[in-house]
Amino acid sequence: MAGEVLVIGGGYVGLHSAYRLHELGYRVKVYAGDLGRAASWGNAGIIHQGSITAVPEVMGLLKLLRLTLRRDSYVSIRPSFALREIGPRGWLTRYISEVRSGRIAAKARVLQRLLLESRGAWLDVIRREGLEAELNESGSIEVFAVRENFDHESEFRRRESAELGYRVEVLDGDQCREIEPLLSRQVVGGLFYPDDLWINPQRTIYSFADALRRKGVEVIERFVESVKVEDGRASVLTGNGKESPEVVIVCAGAWTRDVLRSAGFRVPVVAGRGYLAVTEPSEQRISRPVICADQRTIVGQTMAGEFRISSFFELSSPDAPPDSSKFERMRRWSVPVLPVLSGLKFKLTWVGSRPCTPDGLPVVGRIRGTENLYVAAGHCRLGATLSAATGVLVAAMVEGKEPEILKELSPERFS
């Protein structure tokens, strides 16, 4: 027990891992890069219990292709990404073969185990450490203006929830407006997830980093340059030279592939980028996050009254410039459902990267051929949620325990 652990990455996966390792008595240092660029800073803030099927199957190949080719779509693939990732070992090639493999039910069960543990693990950290998370425990509501989408999705989630044991209530349009009076008459139905939580991601990440610092964890907002492996042991190069801790854990979100490539390893994590626009404050309030399901646009509201509108799944480089036309498109998509958004100015816009694997499951485990190099990344659209259970898993793994679920998440599945 009680060696030194160096965590690369200050998103929720890195911070929860640091928290759980510190609890076990390890000396922990986090190189957090830039907290403001982390997906954990700008995500939609829903700690999900339902809606868990992994991304490739949610879309299906034909649907993804149709969506990608449509002009006004929330899914897009930048041409440079497509060219790079369509080769024999490319991400898109693996993704396509994964969609065809039909492992949908097995993967949903893996995700569900982590999701169910994550809710409690998040509440534990928020309450014990007094995080300024603006926690909202009123669930979330997914609403539809297109009847066909509602019928399809409600049937799918009804079946999935019965199989996997999460709660969802199917509501008609009037029932939706009863619990969310700001919803328009265009809403024909909705799915209410009573166990979902909401946090203000931006406040939570800084508050979490501060809580760790108060406990004696070093959280340094700087990037590491590379990781080197010699004789099976990893060390880390930073601006200040070389560090050789007992354990190195790479939790660098969509940059995980670059960090591990510097050590000579290939892990297929790419960026599925999402856009965020934050409005000026409004006195009108929603009681819980609203998912405008027809265009997958999520609207949450901070305690100060600002609406946070987020959407898009754009396969691209994490560092490519944003397509600025997308911010107004998100507003255009959500106003028919939530007219309150029409007159509010944007005070902040942002783009960030969901770290995505081709099979829709996170990648957590030791890197083969090394004694002390681990990875925990690739949580894609559920990473804010799953980070809490992942932190517990990472701590167990470093302790030398081998929870059964690690077999499903191992980096070796890509070799």
317: left (phi over 0), alpha (psi -120 to 50) or beta: beta
Q: How far apart are CA 409 and CA 239, in angstroms?
A: 32
C-beta separation of 35 from 204 below 8 A:
no
Beta bridge partners of 148: none
Please tell me what DSSP assigns to residue 335: T
Residue type, 238: T
Candidates 43, 112, 136, 235; binder of ligand FAD (CB under 6 A) is 43
18 binds ligand FAD (CB under 6 A): no
9 binds ligand FAD (CB under 6 A): yes
Number of residues that bind ligand FAD (CB under 6 A): 45
Contacts of residue 337, defined as CB under 8 A and 6 or more positions apart, other chains included, come to 143, 145, 183, 184, 186, 187, 290, 292
Candidates 21, 45, 211, 373; binder of ligand FAD (CB under 6 A) is 45
Q: What is the dihedral of CA 189, 327, 385, 121, to 10 degrees?
A: -110
236 binds ligand FAD (CB under 6 A): no
* 256-285: contacts with ligand FAD (CB under 6 A): 259, 274, 276
94 binds ligand FAD (CB under 6 A): no
Provide the token pair at 394: 């990472």
Candidates 377, 392, 394, 409; binder of ligand FAD (CB under 6 A) is 377
Smallest distance from the beta carbon of 381 to ligand FAD, in angstroms?
A: 5
381 binds ligand FAD (CB under 6 A): yes
10 binds ligand FAD (CB under 6 A): yes
* Angle, CA 302 vertex, CA 138 and CA 290 arms, to 5°: 50
Report the residue number whose CB is nearest to ligand FAD.
383
Candidates 355, 360, 391, 411; binder of ligand FAD (CB under 6 A) is 355
Smallest distance from the beta carbon of 29 to ligand FAD, in angstroms?
A: 11
Q: How far apart are CA 13 and CA 7, in angstroms?
A: 10
- Candidates 66-74, 81-89, 104-112, 247-255: pick the segment binding ligand FAD (CB under 6 A): 247-255
383 binds ligand FAD (CB under 6 A): yes
Candidates 55, 145, 197, 224; binder of ligand FAD (CB under 6 A) is 224
Quick one: which H or E segment has residue 350?
Answer: strand 346-356
12 binds ligand FAD (CB under 6 A): yes
Closest to ligand FAD by CB, 183 vs 271, is 271
C-beta separation of 351 from 273 below 8 A:
yes
Smallest distance from the beta carbon of 141 to ligand FAD, in angstroms?
A: 13
55 binds ligand FAD (CB under 6 A): no
- Candidates 30-38, 106-114, 145-153, 240-248: pick the segment binding ligand FAD (CB under 6 A): 30-38
C-beta separation of 255 from 271 below 8 A:
no
Beta strands at 290-292 and 297-301: parallel, antiparallel or unpaired: antiparallel
Contacts of residue 139, defined as CB under 8 A and 6 or more positions apart, other chains included, come to 192, 193, 194, 195, 196, 288
Q: Which residues bind ligand FAD (CB under 6 A)?
A: 8-14, 31-35, 37-40, 42-46, 48, 223-224, 251-255, 259, 274, 276, 310, 352, 354-355, 377, 379-385, 387
